[in-house]
Structure 1
Amino acid sequence: MNIGEIAKRAGVSRSTVSYALSGKRAVSEETRRKIQRVIDELGYRPNASARALANGRTSTIGLVFPPAGNHYTGMQLDFIGSVVEAAAAHDYDVLMSPSGVDSDRSFQRLLGERRVDGAILMEIRLEDDRVDHMVELDFPCVAIGRTAHPEEGWWVGLDHTRLAEACVHHLADLGHRTIAFVNRPEQLLRTGYESAHRGLEGFTKAAAERGLTVRTYCCGDDAASGQACLERILHDDPATTALVTLNEAALGGIYRGLARAGRHVPRDFSVTGVVAGRWAETVTPQLTAADVPAEEMGRRAVELLMERLDHPGAAPRHHLLVPPISLRSSTGPATGAVPADTPAGLSPRS
């Protein structure tokens, strides 16, 4: 079924049907109702290409989201789901592109063929050529994450610096003096992965302020790497009594490594970090963590993109989120230490 058949049955021209569907030109109410009756009888739905030609919109947004390694982690899948759900609430579909650089052919097709009205970019690097390219093209996009020049674009971000600092201060308040930091894979740090760099910055800064003995580690995004990393931590300094992690995919392995080393959590060893709430609650004991609000970040990114599409000349806007640390069961006083009172920024959870 096509516009020509609708025009024939309604007794009008093809252009009149097109104007009635697109609203580009006025059509009399009587003619519009006649066309709508035919459309309803035939169950006609214009395809995406026809809609795009008619109103300049594809009703599709792109999600540019390369996996950080050779697979998507649970937290990454949470973000993908949050964007898809938020887009559906605006009657938009999502076209996913797993591209990592602006030279990637998938990324270029997304832009060059105008398959989408706008795009959401993820796995942001401090110097990100994809963001730069979209700014040059004036292509509507929103980043989940911040580059080194956050004033230049639209984005939703998590303040990994302040969150890592809060984790360190929480452990220091519990009397821990020797602490490790378990970051994302080395490749991500080397390529300027934003959250890995800012998290490391916050950890290092807070540890220096509290005069702590610390070591930092990169860790693969899987349980086996988490266990191996924990074994290295205890080998390098058996006096280590706590760690902060940004790596939720390695969390199960970290716990397994502690169990095999005979370190009880939290009696002998405390664990905290920046992890999505539902993943923090899958381990036993549940993780004291700054809960990553994936659903909220996906929703806000889509809302910002809709705002950009509806108001092309609007000034850039952004949201920087700093969720509190949810106190669960994975942190406790260092042996022989007297913990400080629970400070502001910590949120007790049962």
Structure 2
Amino acid sequence: MNIGEIARRAGVSRSTVSYALSGKRPVSTSTRRRIQDVIDELGYRPNAAARALKEGRTRTIGLVIPPAGNRLTHMQLDFVASVVDAAARVDLDVLLSPSGGDHDRSFERLVSESRVDGVILMEIRLEDPRVGRLHDAGLPFVGIGHTAGDQQMSWIDIDYAGLIQHCVRHLADLGHRRVALVTRSAELIAAGYGPARRAREGFVKALAERGLDGIEVPCGDDARSGQECMTALLRSHPDLTAVTTINEAALPGIQRALSDTGLEVPYDFSITGVAARTWAEDFSPPLTAADVPALEMGEKAVSLLVGRITAPDTPPQHILLAPPVSLRSSTAAAPTGRQARINGAAR
């Protein structure tokens, strides 16, 4: 079934049917109703590709994800799922494109070959050449994270500095005097990964504010790296009693290293950080954490991007989210001296 058949049955021209479907020109209420009755009778659905061709749009958005070799965290998976769901609700498809390392060609094709109407860009660096490339191409985009100085891009971010500061304050209130920040991989930090830099700022500020000793350590984004990192920390800093982290993927390994050393969370050692809510609740014991609203972020990102696509001249929007720290079961009062740790090892 095509527009010509609808026009014949409704007694109007093909162009009138086209205008009624696209809304590009006014059509009288009675004529629109007559056309709609025929459409309903025939069960007609406009061909999406043909409609997109007429509108000059693909009705597809690009979601630029971390390199394919990296396993996405629970937080990132929740975000991706939310973007796909939110896009579907407004009749948009989502094209996933890895970026970084060997995947730079994939990103370039996404930008240069008119495959998408706009882009959601994950894992923003403080100095991110992808942002400049999207600006130069005139392609609407939204960042999940923000660069050091570009105010011309719309973005959504988490207040990592403030959240890590709150986590350290919570540990200080429990009597912990020496804490560690387990951050992301050394490669990401060297590349200027925004959340890692901002988490450090909050960590340093909280240490100074509460007079604590602190250690910051990079860690790969997987359980094995988390275990190795935590084992090394306990060996080099035996008086360490707590850790805070933005590295969700490393947390199972951190927990395993503590268990292997005979330390029980939270009685002998406390863990807190920034993580997806569902993941924090399922952690054992449930993780005291700033719960990242990944689902909400996905919905907001799609909404912002649709706004940039339909009204590109509107001012960019900046959304900084600061979810509260949910107190669960992975933090407790600091153990009283080395004897408590020995008792913990014997338990």
| TM bucket, shorter chain | 0.7 to 0.9
**Residues 112, 38 of structure 1: CA spacing in aligned structure 2 closer, same or farther, 3 A cutoff?**
farther
Match for 1:298: what amino acid? G
**Residues 249, 317 of structure 1: CA spacing in aligned structure 2 closer, same or farther, 3 A cutoff?**
same
1:314-325 matched pairs, under 5 angstroms: 314-325=314-325
**Which residue of structure 2 lines up, in the alignment, with residue 307 of structure 1?**
307
Query: Contact between 1:118 and 1:140, CA under 8 Å: does it hold in 2?
Result: yes
**Which residue of structure 2 lines up, in the alignment, with residue 348 of structure 1?**
none
**Which residue of structure 2 lines up, in the alignment, with residue 249 of structure 1?**
249
**Residues 331, 285 of structure 1: CA spacing in aligned structure 2 closer, same or farther, 3 A cutoff?**
same
Q: CA–CA distance in 2 between the matches of 1:230 and 1:62?
A: 37
The answer as to 2:213 corresponding to 1:213 is: yes
Q: CA–CA distance in 2 between the matches of 1:68 and 1:126?
A: 21
1:116-265 matched pairs, under 5 angstroms: 116-265=116-265
State the shift of 1:87 in Å: 2.0
Q: CA–CA distance in 2 between the matches of 1:14 and 1:107?
A: 40
**Which residue of structure 2 lines up, in the alignment, with residue 99 of structure 1?**
99
Query: Contact between 2:178 and 2:242, CA under 8 Å: does it hold in 1?
Result: yes
Q: What CA deviation, in whole Å up to 9, does each residue of 1:86-113 have, x standing for no partner? A: 2233333222222238993332333333
- Mark the runs of 5 or more structure 1 residues left unpaired by the alignment: 338-350
Query: Contact between 2:125 and 2:192, CA under 8 Å: does it hold in 1?
Result: yes
**Residues 279, 263 of structure 1: CA spacing in aligned structure 2 closer, same or farther, 3 A cutoff?**
same
What secondary structure is seen at the aligned counterpart in 2 of 1:320?
A: strand
Query: Contact between 1:102 and 1:108, CA under 8 Å: does it hold in 2?
Result: no
**Which residue of structure 1 lines up, in the alignment, with residue 272 of structure 2?**
272
Q: CA–CA distance in 1 between the matches of 2:6 and 2:104?
A: 41
State the shift of 1:145 in Å: 0.8
1:327-338 matched pairs, under 5 angstroms: 327-336=327-336
**Residues 28, 286 of structure 1: CA spacing in aligned structure 2 closer, same or farther, 3 A cutoff?**
closer
Query: Contact between 1:179 and 1:243, CA under 8 Å: does it hold in 2?
Result: yes
Deviates more, 1:302-311 or 1:251-260: 302-311
Match for 1:234: what amino acid? L
**Residues 164, 117 of structure 1: CA spacing in aligned structure 2 closer, same or farther, 3 A cutoff?**
same
Q: CA–CA distance in 1 between the matches of 2:140 and 2:180?
A: 40
Q: CA–CA distance in 1 between the matches of 2:202 and 2:224?
A: 26
Query: Contact between 1:21 and 1:54, CA under 8 Å: does it hold in 2?
Result: no
Deviates more, 1:196-205 or 1:181-190: 196-205
Query: Contact between 1:287 and 1:330, CA under 8 Å: does it hold in 2?
Result: yes
Query: Contact between 1:226 and 1:251, CA under 8 Å: does it hold in 2?
Result: yes
Q: CA–CA distance in 1 between the matches of 2:214 and 2:240?
A: 8
Q: CA–CA distance in 1 between the matches of 2:283 and 2:30?
A: 64
**Residues 34, 112 of structure 1: CA spacing in aligned structure 2 closer, same or farther, 3 A cutoff?**
farther
What secondary structure is seen at the aligned counterpart in 2 of 1:179?
A: strand
The answer as to 2:276 corresponding to 1:290 is: no
State the shift of 1:160 in Å: 0.5
Match for 2:289: what amino acid? A
Q: CA–CA distance in 1 between the matches of 2:92 and 2:175?
A: 50
Query: Contact between 1:244 and 1:273, CA under 8 Å: does it hold in 2?
Result: yes
State the shift of 1:77 in Å: 0.5
State the shift of 1:290 in Å: 0.9
Q: CA–CA distance in 1 between the matches of 2:101 and 2:53?
A: 29
What secondary structure is seen at the aligned counterpart in 1 of 2:197?
A: helix
Q: Higher helix proportion, which one?
A: 2
Deviates more, 1:72-81 or 1:84-93: 84-93
What secondary structure is seen at the aligned counterpart in 2 of 1:268?
A: coil
What secondary structure is seen at the aligned counterpart in 2 of 1:152?
A: coil
State the shift of 1:134 in Å: 1.8
Match for 1:134: what amino acid? L
Q: CA–CA distance in 2 between the matches of 1:107 and 1:297?
A: 22
Give the TM-score taking structure 1 as reference length. 0.87
**Which residue of structure 2 lines up, in the alignment, with residue 78 of structure 1?**
78
**Residues 83, 213 of structure 1: CA spacing in aligned structure 2 closer, same or farther, 3 A cutoff?**
same
What secondary structure is seen at the aligned counterpart in 2 of 1:151?
A: coil
Q: Which 4+ residue blocks in structure 1 deviate beyond 6 angstroms?
A: none
Match for 2:237: what amino acid? D
Match for 1:332: what amino acid? A
Query: Contact between 2:74 and 2:276, CA under 8 Å: does it hold in 1?
Result: no
State the shift of 1:57 in Å: 3.8
**Residues 42, 106 of structure 1: CA spacing in aligned structure 2 closer, same or farther, 3 A cutoff?**
farther
Task: Give the CA RMSD over aligned residues.
Answer: 2.5
Q: CA–CA distance in 2 between the matches of 1:103 and 1:252?
A: 28
Give the TM-score taking structure 2 as reference length. 0.88
